[in-house]
A and B are shown apart, each in its own frame.
Chain A
Amino acid sequence: MSNNTENSENVGVIKSVWRWFRRPTARFALGTLVIVGFVGGIVFWGGFNWAMEVTNNETFCISCHEMEANVYREYKQTVHYNNRTGVRATCPDCHVPKTWVHKIARKIQASNELYHHFLGTVDTPEKFEAKRLELAGNVWKVMKETDSRECRNCHNFDFMDFTVQENRASKRHAEAIDSGKTCIDCHKGIAHDLPEGAFDAERKINKAAN
């Protein structure tokens, strides 16, 4: 029976808070409330955006050793890290959408990754390698669905000068425009090493899509 009394006590507390919440104030002027609300809003919004920013850079991404020890070290060997022109694509450039709605959705998804981080799902290179085909497949599927949206933040067929590309590139790109193919259809393993069986998995995904 003790449960019951506790419950009724709780209800009492909630009720009184609710009453306090609804009670018109006599102490503060309406103006004060507006200003406090406004400033509070800015602080909250600023803090929110700040939290989005600090979790949206490379340093944050590789603060998990799972990322540092595997994908980051491989990415450091690729053209998106170090190249002739000095333009760099960082982890969020390829993995976090730029538009607000999609970005929030990706961040909420990321809490699942945090959960697995604390669970230690891929905390050794061996475990990571065993899971890798699945993880890579997820990225491929998402990029196929979004028509490689993140790649297209930087790359655009319209601005490519096909005459300075290698023949095999310009030929395939012209074909891609005609047949509506997307970057990830052909460009797998550009930023990280591919896992064993990657090309068989690729064929399966392509078959399922057609």
Chain B
Amino acid sequence: MKSLKMLVATGLIGAFMSIVPGTTGVLAQEEGVWSLRGEVALNDAAPLADTKKQNTSGKMGRAYRQQPPLIPHRMEKYQINSKVNQCLRCHDWPYNTEEGAPKVSETHYFNRNGVALDTIAGTRWFCTQCHVPQTQARALVKNKFKNASEVD
């Protein structure tokens, strides 16, 4: 008998809990505040985000002379940490000759005091600080950016 009561009680609590997120969702909307999940109750699956595809069709050219070139290939799986930098397995000499990849710029071997090193300078270790992939996404902010070559 006791266990039956317990069962009913937990059932009721459960039912109440499942209503609460829904109501708070409505309240939030009325005040003009939106959750990143949109209008979806917490225990419903949110629709998939509109994922952007990476542009991997080939080298993309530069918009100005000093621009770090964009990464024209997939790169999410390459480990870069204090032990190993997998980008160098293709882009450092002599690997680049076997892999047919462009060698990292000579500037990347100079440390901050201008001393030429035989290995990549520490300041260049984390490639993705400067080199980024490009997706086919709309610009987040409307802008009038032009290539340096197009500016008169």
Contacts of B88 in A (CB 8 A): 199
Contacts of A171 in B (CB 8 A): 100
Contacts of A167 in B (CB 8 A): 58
Known contacts A167-B58, A168-B101, A199-B89: A193-B74 contact under CB 8 Å: no
CB < 8 Å A-B pair total: 35
Contacts of B123 in A (CB 8 A): none
Counting chain A CB atoms within 10 Å of each CB, the highest count among B74, B81, B83, B101 belongs to B83
Chain A contact residue count (CB 8 A cutoff) = 16
Contact: B84 with A194, CB < 8 Å? yes
Contact: A193 with B84, CB < 8 Å? yes
Counting chain A CB atoms within 10 Å of each CB, the highest count among B56, B73, B81, B89 belongs to B89
Chain B contact residue count (CB 8 A cutoff) = 16
Contacts of B77 in A (CB 8 A): 78-79, 190
- Decide if A94 is an interface residue (CB 8 Å cutoff): no
- Decide if A62 is an interface residue (CB 8 Å cutoff): no
A167 to B99, CA, bound (A): 12
Contacts of B18 in A (CB 8 A): none
- Decide if A195 is an interface residue (CB 8 Å cutoff): yes
- Decide if B23 is an interface residue (CB 8 Å cutoff): no
Contact: A198 with B84, CB < 8 Å? yes
A-B contact pairs, 9 of them (CB 8 A): A189-B86, A193-B81, A193-B84, A194-B83, A194-B84, A195-B83, A195-B84, A199-B84, A199-B95
